[in-house]
Amino acid sequence: MGSDRVVLATRNAHKVAELNRILRSAGFTGELVGLDEFPGAPDVPETGSTFADNALLKARAIAAYTRLPAVSDDSGLTVHALNGMPGILSARWAGKHGDDRANLELVLGQLADIDGREAAFVCVAALALPDGSREWTATGVLPGSLTRAPRGANGFGYDPIFVPDGMTTTTAELAPADKDAISHRGRAFRAIAPVVAAL
Residues classed as catalytic:
74
Cα–Cα–Cα angle for 44, 50, 53, rounded to 5 degrees? 45
Work out whether strand 118-128 and strand 162-164 pair parallel, antiparallel, or are unpaired. unpaired
Cα–Cα–Cα angle for 21, 71, 175, rounded to 5 degrees? 40
User: Whole-angstrom Cα distance, residue 20 to residue 32?
Assistant: 6
Exposed, middle or buried by CB within 10 Å (0-12, 13-18, 19+), for 107?
buried
User: Whole-angstrom Cα distance, residue 151 to residue 148?
Assistant: 9
